[in-house]
Structure 1
Amino acid sequence: MKPLARISHALSWVLHPFLLPLYAVVYLLTCTAFVYYPTGMKFYFAWVIVLYAMVIPVLSLGLLRALGCVSDWRIDERRERWWPLLIGTLCYVLCAVTLARIPSAVFLRKFMLAAACCEGMCLVVSFYWKISLHLTAMGAAVALLVIMSVADPGRSLVPFAVTVFCAGALASARLYLGCHNAAQILAGFCGGFCVAALALLFL
């Protein structure tokens, strides 16, 4: 395998949509006002988000693969994305409902609802067209950092710059691997950014 192909595959896995919620919650709990919360509460937030955003979707994908509903963990086939995306959307909604019980976790709840909206958008689009799930997730992450940068410019500027760089590198990797064309990459990023930003601001 060529070095660029190896790097592109590595980026696709390191910046996989399943992992981005983990990165986001680590950032929120260590670099924002949540850092002042009790350790036990931060662990609870992290556990709830990891459970609903990572563990259950990954186990569900494994079950779907065992049942023959999806042929590959990467779910590159557009028609195989419907069940994983539906399950992902429901998981994010359930996560938001769980976090809604804690009034001080309102921003985390908003972030989970934004993720649910992004998954729902990809679900609808996938009935007609293939959109980049990787770049949709990165668009949502950039939207989160934009809003955080407006609220606290000094603290969020470096994470924002790193996230934008990662989004560009990931877009290049997905194009290099032939997983998507430029339109699918652009639609994913712009769709994820716009949907997440609107959800974070108004839900």
Structure 2
Amino acid sequence: LMPMLAIYLFQKINGWGIHELGHREKRFVPYALTIISYVTCLITMYKIHLPRYMSGIIVAALICMILCTLINFKWKISTHVASSGMMVGGLLSYSFIFNFNPIWWLCFFILLSGMLGTARIIVKQHTLLEVLAGFIVGLFCGVIGILFI
């Protein structure tokens, strides 16, 4: 709630609307606030001794946001599709940890990711390459953040 409120107030103070965030240069403040939120959540989870597999979701999301922010310095990447790619990577990771067959869930989330990527292209917020890169970054972060870190 706090990052959303901070982003909203920042937009109102600077006179930004939702369309201004489509510009690569104007995304850094929301990215920074999101990263701070994830770090705070991770510290809280660590302090209350939650199991590693639960905090892995936040680790994966934090890594994904950091990578998207770094990539954003040079190139606009789809963080929406990166999040959906992270969902697919997280589902794969948890299927290894808890030994279950995720085939139907994978089909559903891959289809949903494709629909989201298509929508981002149709509304002219991203190109096909930006959408594909976002999905690959998210998939990588979902697997690495949950299984290996």
Is this a same-fold pair by TM over 0.5?
yes
Shift of 1:159: 2.5
Q: Which runs of 4+ in 1 moved over 4 A?
A: none
Cα-to-partner distance string for 1:118-167 (whole Å, 9 max, x where unaligned): 1111111111111001111011111001112233324x433322111100
CA distance in 2, matches of 1:189, 1:165: 12
Partner residue of 2:123? 177
Match of 1:152 among 99, 116, 134: 99
- RMSD in angstroms over aligned alpha carbons? 1.8
Match of 1:120 among 46, 66, 69: 66
Shift of 1:69: 7.0
Amino acid corresponding to residue 146 of structure 2 in structure 1: L
| Secondary structure of 1:100's aligned partner | helix
Partner residue of 2:89? 143
1:74/1:169 CA distance change after superposition, 3 Å: farther
Partner residue of 1:67? 13
CA distance in 2, matches of 1:62, 1:119: 19
Q: Which moved more, 1:162-171 or 1:145-154?
A: 145-154
C-alpha contact 2:88 2:142 (8 A) present in aligned 1 = no
| Secondary structure of 1:107's aligned partner | helix
Amino acid corresponding to residue 152 of structure 1 in structure 2: N
Q: Which runs of 5+ in 2 are unaligned?
A: none
CA distance in 2, matches of 1:56, 1:108: 22
TM-score, length-scaled by structure 2: 0.90
CA distance in 2, matches of 1:57, 1:73: 19
CA distance in 2, matches of 1:74, 1:157: 38
TM-score, length-scaled by structure 1: 0.67
C-alpha contact 2:93 2:142 (8 A) present in aligned 1 = no
Shift of 1:200: 1.3
